[in-house]
Amino acid sequence: MVAPRANWKGFIKFGEVACPAALYTAASSSERIAFNTLNRKTGNRVKREFVDSETGDPVERDEQVKGYEIENGQYIILEPEEVAAAVPDSDKTLKIDAFIPCNEIDDVYFDKPYYLAPDKMGTDAFVLLRDGMKKAKVAAITRTVLFRRVRTVLIRPHGKGLIATTLNFDYEVRSSEEAFEELPDLKIEGEMLELAEHIIGTKKGSFDASTFDDRYEAAVAELVKAKIEGRALPKKKAPPASKPSDLLQALRESAGIGGKKAEPKRTAANANKGVSRQKAAKPATAAKSKSAAAPTRRAG
């Protein structure tokens, strides 16, 4: 088995204790199905080419330079060495600024996860940090230069090691107020809330990532296989019929009670009364059924 390649190597430091550490990608999209763009007529791959937006002439890589637009169509040119000079210096150290409760950061700030493991030496210090954080039930906030930018990183215990999650900057996270501003203030209570609680109770479970699959990837894989084998392409199934639009009716059906309200429980005394009433009604019911079964005469 090939050992994973580290995305970053440096040190993790808390107080005066430091140990070598490395970051490894925890989530990757490299296994997804990828397409190439082809020329329909020749079947050959199409390559990307940069052209001048005004003259239409191709621009070679050596002639391409970064620019920042200051006005409509007006740019400041930034040379590669100038951009490189703007990259902050890195001491390759994840220096812990503070320890905070694990649930203090809103996960909307979470960006990308990395596994953080000790790099060859310094395992004792690494394990000390991991176990100390577990016992105190805290996470660590740290900053360092990752991939040319100063990034804030949240470090938490994870299995035998640590997991380091880069955090979005505050200006990158949009306020929820705009998304929810048109949501009215409603208070749901009574039968609707009770039904919702019942449905939630029947659907309780645990998270298992292996039970969730990428339906798009599976569908594309089947499509490719069918094309290779010359089979008819798989047909898309028709969507299921829509559910009732009435919320209460939908809740009742979800809870398995149809359109009927749950009948109140009867006491023992009332239950006996109900039985006696049913017995008394039997002769009348039988007479009614006999008369209904009698053949009818047609006018002659």
List, for residues 114-135, the tens digit of each pLDDT value: 999 998 777 899 999 999 999 9
Residues sharing a CB contact under 8 Å with residue 166, sequence separation 6 or more, in sequence order: 111, 112, 114, 146, 151, 152, 153
**pLDDT for residue 260:** 52
191: confidence class by pLDDT, cuts 50, 70, 90: confident
Q: Detail the DSSP E strand segments found in 102-177.
A: 110-118, 138-146, 149-158, 161-167
In this model, does residue 26 exceed pLDDT 80?
A: yes
Q: How far apart are CA 36 and CA 45, in angstroms?
A: 7
Are the C-beta atoms of 37 and 46 separated by less than 8 Å? Answer: yes
Are the C-beta atoms of 87 and 77 separated by less than 8 Å? Answer: no
In this model, does residue 294 exceed pLDDT 80?
A: no
In this model, does residue 283 exceed pLDDT 50?
A: no
In this model, does residue 291 exceed pLDDT 90?
A: no
Q: Which residue has the higher pLDDT, 271 or 198?
A: 198
Q: What is the pLDDT of residues 150-166, one digit of tens each?
A: 899 999 999 999 999 99
pTM above 0.75, yes or no: no
**pLDDT for residue 1:** 52
Query: pLDDT over 70 for what percent of the chain?
Result: 83
Q: How far apart are CA 251 and CA 191, in angstroms?
A: 9
Q: How far apart are CA 92 and CA 290, in angstroms?
A: 95
Are the C-beta atoms of 36 and 118 separated by less than 8 Å? Answer: no
